[in-house]
Structure 1
Amino acid sequence: MKARDLIVLVGVIGIVLMMVLPLPKMLLDILLIINISMALMILLIAMNTKEALEFSIFPAILLITTLFRIALNVSSTKLILGEGDAGEVIKTFGEWVSQGNIAIGLVVFLILVVVQFIVITKGSERVAEVAARFTLDAMPGKQMAIDADLNAGLINEQQAKERREKIESEADFYGAMDGASKFVKGDAIASIVILIINLVGGFIIGMAMHGMPFKDAANTYSILSIGDGLVSQIPALLISTAAGLIVTRSATKGNLAEDLSTQMLAYPKLLYIVAGTIAMLGLFTPITVMSTLPFAAILAYAGYRMQQNLEQKAVSEEQLEEEQQIEEVRSPESVINLLQVDPIEFEFGYGLIPLADVQQGGDLLDRIIMIRRQCALELGLVVPVIRIRDNIQLKPNEYIIKIKGNIVARGELLLNHYLAMSPGYDDDSVTGIETMEPAFGLPALWVDEAMKERAEVSGYTVVDPPSVVATHLTEIIKKHAHELIGRQETKGLVETVKEQHPAIVEELIPNLMNIGDVQKVLANLLREKISIRDLVTIFETLADYGTYTKDPDILTEYVRQALARQITQQYSIPGETLRVITVGPTLEKKIADSVQQNEQGSYLAMDPGTTQQVFQRFQEQIGRLVQSGYQPIVLASPGIRMYLRQLMERTMQDIPVLSYNELEPNVEIQSVGVVNV
């Protein structure tokens, strides 16, 4: 057994013997001083702990110190009742507090007991009880969080073990504190009982056995009883306060002094209000100015100095942050951050900063949130976060849109104007700055506030600059949606479907197709602006035909046919005839004969002369249909639709190409033109 272990055992046995064996007055004085010192030490340790487990031995110490105080009370009671003298410490405390008046000493003692028993001990007991209950209730959730972090690779096995042990220790600690608080409560009751015994017993023994007059007996034994009660209650009060500090330490990262300095003194301007209130008390109440103004001046000066310190600290932190950024730029590892490419970027000149500045009324950030929601509903695509930044290299009113670091669109805005788009005829009374609508390339005018109402009356479509940007950005995202869906985004969509339909996902991936194959099919659909929101139907179709072919283009055709109802509703209006441009038999045969096969799949290989002739015929028919006010749609047989789309994608990317199998039977179709070669 180690020496320190032996000392602890001997100390506990000595505490028990103190209750039986008589102690000399000098030794009792020493033990009382030790008791007060231990209480101060425990209080200071409790104030400097950052979390309760740093002082996990506290419940055991609470029990030992309570037992020690009771042993001292028993020993002092023997001396008080037996000799009428309990040493210098008890006598000094009694005389110092009583100040020649026994009633004052009794009142002070009772106040200390009430404060400890009703305020501190009862509050600490309640906090410990609630903390123990909530700690036990939270254990399963904390254990699951540790397992999740371990499975995700965020922590290793050793770290997980340490965190589990910490959770168990917290539950044990608060449970022990819940029980240990009862000892302090009982100690306060015992102190009152011992005081009464000392007073009543002292009177009787002093007058009956020592022949003391009533006044001398009352004075002597009252002072000794009060001194004995104070010597035990003051350390008990300190330890009760320490218990309260321990169990109320929560949601903090520092000790008590750090928390007080950072939280209580974090608002120096409030000290000015307090100083003003104190000064008003001195000026408008009977309280003298000499009592209030000096203190108010001290508070105001303290607030001024604290505010200066906070400002200096903010400047220092800003300088430190700038130095760290400079060091990061100088470090070799900083080059790696330059390799990061944002999926979508929106950059603008300094003149368009009010668009994104909320303080200036800009709502661009809110509009981008709505754009992402709109794309999710219309295309079934989760649009990545759009990076917004100003660019001093651009013109003041210019903006650009980048996809994966490359500029795909640009435009200019006039913030104090409105964009007026012509209804098809021009009104000479509507004047403005000529421009082109950036999203669809339509001729338009930038008109001022005074001309806005006249343009609206004349039938012009008038929109504000933020709406112009939002429309342009939406169309760019739709046009390049197939570039924004990669394997990682596809995996996220697969996981979403798996939550509700695990059977279809388990059948399809990875048995029939991998994530890359699925991504190619989804990209093909988005390239032609077909929504992929109905992923269940898409995955079921891929599972049905994935056993026959692995060609993503052919699988895309099967999926399009499965989405016939969706495609029909996208391009037709209920109750109206769908007007289309059909492909003649000679062109269909020419396309079918030009299809070539290789190890990677099939492709269209048509000679340049025929290709140019086909383009010319389609442009004639499309122009005629547009002049009639209808949306141009090309209708072909299922066998050549894919190859015709590949041919038209080069120059007429926005023209939809459908097959007969992609339209519902109840749709009335009218051919307004036939293309042959």
Structure 2
Amino acid sequence: MRTRDLFILSGIIGIILMMVVPIPLALLDFLLIVNISIALIIILIAMNTQQALDFSIFPTLLLITTLFRLALNVSTTRNILSEAEAGNVVATFGSFVAGGNLVVGFVVFLILVIVQFIVITKGSERVAEVGARFTLDAMPGKQMAIDADLNSGLINEQEAKDRRKKIEREADFYGAMDGASKFVKGDAIASIVILFINMIGGLIIGATFHGMSLSESLHTFSILTIGDGLVSQIPALLISSAAGIIVTRAASEGNLASDLTAQLFSYPKLLYVVAGTVMFLGLFTPIHLITTVPIAGLLVLAAYRMQRNLSRKAEETEQLVEEQQIEEVRSPESVISLLQVDPIEFEFGYGLIPLADTNQGGDLLDRIILIRRQCALELGLVVPVIRIRDNIQLRPNEYVIKIKGNTVARSDLLLNHYLAMSPGIEDDSIVGIETTEPAFGLPAQWIDEAMKERAELSGYTVVDPPSVVATHLTEVVKRHAHELLGRQETKMLIENIKESYPALVDELIPNVLSVGDVQKVLAKLLKEKISIRDLVTIFETLADYGTYTKDPDILTEYVRQALSRQITNQYANGQSLKVVTIGPSLEKKIAESVQQTEHGSYLAMDPASSQTIFQKVSEQLTKLIQQGQPPVILASPTIRMYLRQLLERTMQDITVLSYSELEPQAEIQSVGVVNL
């Protein structure tokens, strides 16, 4: 434990002991001056902070100072009642403020108590309560705003994390201030009670135990009571004022003094009006011109100087902006910034602006957040920030999706319609605008609100425009996930898993494989829609087989076999998996066409044989698709990756599995065999 920690703990214990153990008058004087000094420090800090969180320890400090002040009250009360004396500080405050008149002293003390209790403490308590309530109510909106800025690329992940943490701290601070203000209120009430205890108890004890006359007892204990009250109420008033300053100040770029001068004196014309009003009071009322003329003159002088300074600043700002614009055009950085290519872009025509405009009820930004979370869960991929912008070069209802600056998908939306997809049995009563569902290429219709209910009763799948965009964008991201995973993104995934499995990462990288080798394997998995979320199993497999081969194709096959349970659940999901199998003749043909080189192996097959294979596979997959099943081909482990390489040129959405990638207990049903 450090020295300052021991100092704080000793101070708290000392405060508690002060309530029980009598302390010498000299030490009491010293502690009373310390209390006043602490109160001055607190109010000066409150005036010079820019944001409430800059003084986040204030609620706790408020409780400690309140406890310290109450302990001093107990000590002074003990000395007043037992010895008819409370030290030089209390006596000085009592005699100096009262000025020999006890009534004046009581009035001053009561004014201080009323101001603190009714005005400052009550107001601070209410402001803290309302501030805490509104801060909590505003948290969801602030969180959504942060997510929107993150998705639009205005901030990065770290900045978003810092902003969320700041929001949580603000909520905690205002909640703590709401509770701490109750202690200040109780302290003001306790001061009034202690006043009457000192006065009434002093009169009785002075006459009974100290042998004083009634007038002498009244004078002595009144002075001490007033001094004790003032010496405790002045620091309490300062700290209560500091609490009011803290909770009533909004976030700014300067302290209280700079904000006052910048905001209160930013309107010179109004100062002229005030100066005229003051002069009017001096001319047409009994108030003398000697009082009003100096004030009016100062106001006129201040208004003139402020008006001149504002004009000069406006000219300097305008000149600075012009210089910056010229420098931006001349500087090489203005061209370099144009070289930046966004990983994913979503552009839309002006007719689709309501999709992204929250003021018009658009929830596209919220849906993009869900898309990124869904891809993280399903694919194990951290999708980069999706840049959203309108493009006047597009048709009003058109949108395009770009990957690394290149358009990969486009479609049209009708905002006041719904997309209806037939269940297979057409209903002639459903009338709409013929179109194609953009994500899966299914025939569909745009129908209006009046036709929606009828279409749903007829079994049609009815989707609103935002859901159409979200589904299309999700499928595009999944289809191009392997392009979004580069070495930098792979490095980030590696660093994340290294926090939990440092030994595994240290063994694999860079001793066995480089980051680029790992990236190639992960990209190949994503290209075939295999989730890379289980990085531990993937890295374990790469560490086992990476010492024997560096070929990413072969390493990918080993990883796929290690992920057999995941792949089985992905395609079978506890049900019978219907597949098209590859016959022996085709497997033999593919195996014979594999060429081995020093750089790896590849499939070398003549065009006629390739075309024949395409036709045979297409015929068998048609049977599978007609049964409403996804197109899945099952082959032996030795030819799986070569068959996939052959078919992906024309059949990108088919799935090619090997027997080693399925669990032994998986139920497999073959609906066709592909033979030459």
Q: Same fold (TM over 0.5)?
A: yes
Q: Given residue 505 of structure 2, which amino acid in structure 1 is its aligned partner?
A: V
Q: Supply the distance in 1 between the matched residues of 2:462 and 2:660 (Cα, whole angstroms).
A: 40
Alignment match, 1:633 = 632
Alignment match, 1:359 = 359
Alignment match, 1:611 = 610
Q: CA deviation at 1:526?
A: 0.5
Q: Supply the distance in 2 between the matched residues of 1:237 and 1:588 (Cα, whole angstroms).
A: 95
Runs of 5+ unmatched residues, structure 2: 1-36, 56-86, 125-157, 159-190, 207-215, 267-309
Q: Supply the distance in 2 between the matched residues of 1:322 and 1:606 (Cα, whole angstroms).
A: 70
Alignment match, 2:536 = 536
Q: Supply the distance in 2 between the matched residues of 1:432 and 1:230 (Cα, whole angstroms).
A: 88
CA-to-aligned-CA distance 1:233-254 (integer Å, 9 cap, x gap) = 9999989977877899869774
Q: Supply the distance in 2 between the matched residues of 1:631 and 1:71 (Cα, whole angstroms).
A: 90
Q: Supply the distance in 1 between the matched residues of 2:456 and 2:420 (Cα, whole angstroms).
A: 8
Conservation of the 8 A alpha-carbon contact between 2:116 and 2:240: yes
Conservation of the 8 A alpha-carbon contact between 2:571 and 2:577: no
Q: Given residue 592 of structure 2, which amino acid in structure 1 is its aligned partner?
A: D
CA-to-aligned-CA distance 1:323-358 (integer Å, 9 cap, x gap) = 969946851234443333222221111111222222
Alignment match, 1:145 = none
Alignment match, 2:167 = none
Q: Given residue 448 of structure 2, which amino acid in structure 1 is its aligned partner?
A: D
Q: Supply the distance in 2 between the matched residues of 1:49 and 1:577 (Cα, whole angstroms).
A: 71
Q: Aligned with 1:500: secondary structure?
A: coil
CA-based RMSD: 5.6
CA-to-aligned-CA distance 1:553-610 (integer Å, 9 cap, x gap) = 111000111111221222225343523131442x323322332334432222223333
Please give the residue correspondences for 1:247-258 in structure 2 after superposition, counting only pairs within 5 Å.
254-258=254-258
Q: Given residue 652 of structure 1, which amino acid in structure 2 is its aligned partner?
A: M
Q: Aligned with 2:581: secondary structure?
A: strand
Q: CA deviation at 1:256?
A: 4.0
Q: Given residue 593 of structure 1, which amino acid in structure 2 is its aligned partner?
A: E
Alignment match, 2:127 = none
Q: Supply the distance in 2 between the matched residues of 1:604 and 1:619 (Cα, whole angstroms).
A: 20
Q: Does 1:479 align with 2:479?
A: yes
Alignment match, 2:593 = 594
Please give the residue correspondences for 1:239-250 in structure 2 after superposition, counting only pairs within 5 Å.
none
Alignment match, 2:620 = 621
TM-score, structure 2 as length reference: 0.58
Alignment match, 1:109 = 105
Q: Aligned with 1:400: secondary structure?
A: strand
Q: Does 1:441 align with 2:441?
A: yes
Q: Supply the distance in 2 between the matched residues of 1:90 and 1:360 (Cα, whole angstroms).
A: 64
Q: CA deviation at 1:536?
A: 1.6
Change in CA separation of 1:591 and 1:360 when aligned onto 2, cut-off 3 Å: same
Q: Given residue 48 of structure 2, which amino acid in structure 1 is its aligned partner?
A: K
Change in CA separation of 1:376 and 1:243 when aligned onto 2, cut-off 3 Å: closer
Q: Given residue 640 of structure 1, which amino acid in structure 2 is its aligned partner?
A: I
TM-score, structure 1 as length reference: 0.58
Please give the residue correspondences for 1:320-469 in structure 2 after superposition, counting only pairs within 5 Å.
327=324, 331=328, 332=331, 333-469=333-469
Q: Aligned with 2:638: secondary structure?
A: coil
Q: Supply the distance in 1 between the matched residues of 2:372 and 2:453 (Cα, whole angstroms).
A: 32
Change in CA separation of 1:108 and 1:635 when aligned onto 2, cut-off 3 Å: same
Alignment match, 1:309 = none
Q: Supply the distance in 2 between the matched residues of 1:47 and 1:383 (Cα, whole angstroms).
A: 45
Q: Supply the distance in 1 between the matched residues of 2:647 and 2:414 (Cα, whole angstroms).
A: 36
Conservation of the 8 A alpha-carbon contact between 1:47 and 1:245: no
Q: CA deviation at 1:546?
A: 1.4
Please give the residue correspondences for 1:48-63 in structure 2 after superposition, counting only pairs within 5 Å.
50=48
Q: Supply the distance in 2 between the matched residues of 1:418 and 1:589 (Cα, whole angstroms).
A: 51
CA-to-aligned-CA distance 1:241-299 (integer Å, 9 cap, x gap) = 77877899869774444456889999xxxxxxxxxxxxxxxxxxxxxxxxxxxxxxxxx
Q: CA deviation at 1:504?
A: 2.3
Change in CA separation of 1:499 and 1:72 when aligned onto 2, cut-off 3 Å: closer
Q: Supply the distance in 1 between the matched residues of 2:390 and 2:573 (Cα, whole angstroms).
A: 42
Alignment match, 2:504 = 504
Q: CA deviation at 1:547?
A: 1.4
Conservation of the 8 A alpha-carbon contact between 1:46 and 1:245: no
Conservation of the 8 A alpha-carbon contact between 1:581 and 1:675: no
| Corresponding residue pairs, total | 486
Structure with bigger gyration radius: 1
Q: Supply the distance in 1 between the matched residues of 2:416 and 2:445 (Cα, whole angstroms).
A: 13
Q: Aligned with 1:519: secondary structure?
A: helix
Q: CA deviation at 1:408?
A: 0.7
Change in CA separation of 1:595 and 1:50 when aligned onto 2, cut-off 3 Å: same
Change in CA separation of 1:47 and 1:602 when aligned onto 2, cut-off 3 Å: closer
Q: CA deviation at 1:648?
A: 1.2
Q: Given residue 479 of structure 1, which amino acid in structure 2 is its aligned partner?
A: R
Q: Given residue 530 of structure 1, which amino acid in structure 2 is its aligned partner?
A: I
Conservation of the 8 A alpha-carbon contact between 2:46 and 2:245: no
Per mean C-alpha deviation after superposition, the further-off stretch among 238-247 and 512-521 is 238-247
Q: Supply the distance in 1 between the matched residues of 2:318 and 2:435 (Cα, whole angstroms).
A: 45
Runs of 5+ unmatched residues, structure 1: 1-38, 54-68, 78-88, 95-104, 128-151, 153-184, 201-217, 267-312
Q: Aligned with 1:381: secondary structure?
A: coil
Amino-acid identity (%): 60
Q: Supply the distance in 2 between the matched residues of 1:247 and 1:443 (Cα, whole angstroms).
A: 66
Q: Supply the distance in 2 between the matched residues of 1:597 and 1:232 (Cα, whole angstroms).
A: 98
Q: Supply the distance in 1 between the matched residues of 2:460 and 2:392 (Cα, whole angstroms).
A: 34
Conservation of the 8 A alpha-carbon contact between 1:46 and 1:242: no
